[in-house]
Amino acid sequence: MVADAQEIPKEVDPKDVVSKMKFDYTRGVRDHSTRALEAVNELCASLEKQDLNIDVFLKQTAELISKHFGISSVAIGVRDPVDRMYKYRVVVGLDDSVAEGYKALTYSRQQLFDNKTYPSHDISSRTKLFLSEDHPYADGEEFTYKSPRLIGLKRRSLTDSLEADYIDVLFFGSGGDIIGFIEASGTRLRKLPDVITIKWLELISCIIGAFLRARRY
């Protein structure tokens, strides 16, 4: 009987429940997934600011992607609501001169999704993969890569990332039309983005789309 009594768990103070949850929330496990989730939560929280500037938000988003997912360079293109042309609004991870060259580029929808000039492979309804072997850039656009001299190297494994590999993750307007894309090129480990990273980018693209739809893009 004494042994049975000793096995009865001690009553938990509800204050301790609160303390544990607060501690776990602020100082608990700090793995990669948790840090990425916190960064995306902060991105969502910024949407509550009524005076949030579009370019500030897009730069914050591009920097988040580069930092938390190890992407070498990130560019975000958006369709101009006036002339309906796609233009790069933000570029991170490249020299300033290259970034300015990016921002001078403009594309119609037909040009942007011309599979002869920019051959791609659909990974999902949102994500397109462009592989170096397919020459996925127009003549004269080699400058948009971090190390153009490395274009043409051979791929040695299924996960290798080559110069001129990149992915586009699309975001959509209220009618389902494409209003822009996240362009992610290269990783710091020289590997193609894994599936988890792609799904994170797709989630972030949904957030960008919702933000721009609220701005009537």
Can you give 162-184 as a three-state secondary structure string?
CCCCEEEEEEECCCCCEEEEEEE
- Residues 180 and 77 sit within 8 Å (Cβ to Cβ): yes
Domain ranges in the chain are 13-214
Res. 1: pLDDT tops 70:
no
Highest mean pLDDT among 15-29, 132-146, 155-169: 155-169
d(C-alpha 70, C-alpha 85), whole Å = 29
Q: Return all residues near 152 (Cβ < 8 A) that are at least 6 apart.
A: 132
Reading across the β-sheet that carries 71-79, which strands appear in turn?
106-107, 86-92, 71-79, 178-187, 166-172, 127-130, 121-122
CATH number of 13-214: 3.30.450.40
The pLDDT tens digits of the residues spanning 47-106 come to 888 789 999 999 999 999 999 999 999 999 999 999 999 999 999 998 888 888 888 899
Return the SS3 of 27: helix
- Residues 178 and 79 sit within 8 Å (Cβ to Cβ): yes
